[in-house]
Amino acid sequence: MINQYKTVDASRISISELMQPSHSNFGGKIHGGYILNLMDQIAFACASKHSETYCVTASVDTVDFLQPIEIGELVTMKASVNYVGKTSMVVGIRVESEDIRTGKVKHCNSSYFTMVAKDDSGNPIPVPGLILNDKTEVKRFLKAIKRKETKKHRQEEFNSETFSLENYIEDLKQYNVKIDLPENF
């Protein structure tokens, strides 16, 4: 590790790509899987630039497809490191598409990729800390901490020995589901 701390700007990445018919799904819109592939690539580039080493995707959080992307639109992805731990980084990604004929830009997706820095043997290695230079960067760091805490609590609840069907069965009545269990479940 060369630097102990780096600014968010030091590893910020932006890419743009014109959407082709080969990227579309059967509905004529750009396939979500193709967009996720591009997002994984930019997350890797951003995390690797920050850590100065190879990185792998550990998890993807909050992938919401907000607007469809059309064939012929210019898609731009912006990525920055929002949070760093000991060996991991959370890379925030914003996806926008632009109708190049009208100039209209729409926000299509935002997501958070947790990336882990690895050495040549595949072992996690420490990453530089993060220098936060403005309120937006501090806010993103704090939100990443909150998402991490929420995820940890959710995992603890669902993995707990005390998690039981009986504790949640009543909650299912509000959903479009019919429960047809044997008497002695």
- Residue 38: partners with Cβ closer than 8 Å, 6 or more residues away: 15, 17, 75, 77
Exposed, middle or buried by CB within 10 Å (0-12, 13-18, 19+), for 157? Answer: exposed
Residue 172 confidence (pLDDT): 87
Helix, strand, coil percentages (3-state) for the chain, rounded to 5, are: 35, 35, 30
Every domain of the chain and the residues it spans:
5-132
As given in the structure block, the two tokens for residue 76 are 């731009």
Q: What is the pLDDT along the chain (185 residues), one digit of tens a residue?
A: 455 999 999 999 999 999 999 999 999 999 999 999 999 999 999 999 999 999 999 999 989 999 999 999 999 999 999 999 999 999 999 999 999 999 999 999 999 999 999 999 999 999 999 999 999 999 999 999 999 999 998 888 878 777 777 777 888 888 998 888 787 65
What is the pTM (predicted TM-score) of this model?
Answer: 0.87
The CA distance from 90 to 28, in Å, is 32
The CA distance from 88 to 47, in Å, is 9
As given in the structure block, the two tokens for residue 9 are 């700007």
Query: Rounded to a whole number, what is the largest CA-CA distance in the chain?
Result: 64
Give, for 79, the enclosing helix (H) or strand (E). strand 74-84
The CA distance from 53 to 123, in Å, is 12
As given in the structure block, the two tokens for residue 109 are 């997706």
- Residue pair 39/103 in contact (Cβ under 8 Å)? The answer is no
Residue 24 confidence (pLDDT): 96
The CA distance from 113 to 92, in Å, is 7
Phi, psi dihedrals of residue 137, rounded to the nearest 5°:
-65, -40
Write down the CATH superfamily of domain 5-132.
Hotdog Thioesterase (3.10.129.10)
DSSP secondary structure of 159-176: HSTT--HHHHGGGGGGSS
